[in-house]
């Protein structure tokens, strides 16, 4: 009996599969997410309250479509069997092989619900938060503590890499983005100390640093192949 392509494929090697009807659903969800953002930008540019009102209503449609897409994805990707463009035959799928898509859908729903919470209870939430100056000081002190630890982590990782792979630095995607994270927070501290950055500008820089950290941890792991794809 001739050996089939499915039998020759190592079961531990992942292959890309095509899940029918999932692409158009993701495009629809993407449009539903972008629409409120575009309307909000129009509100900020033209100072027209009508755009904001429509954006706030569009959030509900966006949440509904994201929940439907999440359910659709769970039903299709959980223990499914689909063809692949890389090899002949059909291959099983599990949610563990698509953590980035799953986390993006769940994160999008959470972000929209958070927006609604801020929209409806913003004044109540603001009363329970410290004032802007206190938040600015807390952010600065937190980064002052975390930055030396980040530096120590990168140095320890380089030492371990030299012992394991014979080189301190290989410009692997994870290493590169760890260096980018370090540079962002180093620039934040530099501008804070030397230029006296406070308030909104410093907050934007801190948010940028947090976004880079999240991309380094999740985005690089699941999107960019390399030696650290497992970490």
* Residue 17 DSSP class: B
Taking 50 as the threshold, does the pLDDT of residue 6 lie above it? no
Range among 8-22, 86-100, 105-119 with highest mean pLDDT value: 105-119
Return the C-alpha torsion angle 150, 153, 157, 163, nearest 10: 150
Look at 1 and 123; give whichever has higher pLDDT. 123
Is-contact 205 187, C-beta < 8 A?
yes
pLDDT in tens, 145-176: 999 999 999 999 888 888 888 888 888 888 88
pLDDT in tens, 167-215: 888 888 888 888 999 999 999 999 998 988 888 888 888 889 988 888 8
**pLDDT, the chain, mean:** 79
Token pair listed for 45 = 């540019």
Taking the alpha carbons of 186, 212, 218, 226 in that order, is the dihedral positive or negative? negative
Token pair listed for 188 = 């934040």
pLDDT in tens, 108-144: 787 877 777 777 766 766 677 778 888 889 999 999 9
pLDDT of residue 222: 64
Alpha helices, DSSP H, located in the chain: 5-8, 22-46, 49-77, 99-128, 132-165, 173-194, 199-214, 220-223
pLDDT in tens, 71-85: 888 887 777 777 777
């Amino acid at each position: 009996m001739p050996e089939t392509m499915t039998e020759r494929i190592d079961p531990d090697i992942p292959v890309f599969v095509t899940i029918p009807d999932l692409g158009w659903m993701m495009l629809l969800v993407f449009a539903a997410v972008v629409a409120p953002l575009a309307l909000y930008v129009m509100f900020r540019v033209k100072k027209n309250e009508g755009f904001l009102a429509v954006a706030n209503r569009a959030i509900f449609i966006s949440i509904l479509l994201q929940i439907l897409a999440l359910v659709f994805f769970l039903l299709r990707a959980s223990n499914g069997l689909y063809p692949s463009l890389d090899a002949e035959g059909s291959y099983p799928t599990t949610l563990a092989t698509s953590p980035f898509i799953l986390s993006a859908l769940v994160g999008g729903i959470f972000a929209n619900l958070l927006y609604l919470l801020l929209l409806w209870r913003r004044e109540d939430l603001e009363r329970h938060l410290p004032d802007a100056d206190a938040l600015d000081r807390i952010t600065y002190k937190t980064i002052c503590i975390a930055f030396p630890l980040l530096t120590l982590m990168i140095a320890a990782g380089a030492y371990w890499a030299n012992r394991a792979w014979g080189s301190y630095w290989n410009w692997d995607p994870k290493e590169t983005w760890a260096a980018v994270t370090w540079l962002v927070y180093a620039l934040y501290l530099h501008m804070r100390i030397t230029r006296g950055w406070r308030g909104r500008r410093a907050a934007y820089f801190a948010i940028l640093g947090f976004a880079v950290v999240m991309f380094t941890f999740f985005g690089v792991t699941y999107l960019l192949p390399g030696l650290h794809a497992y970490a």
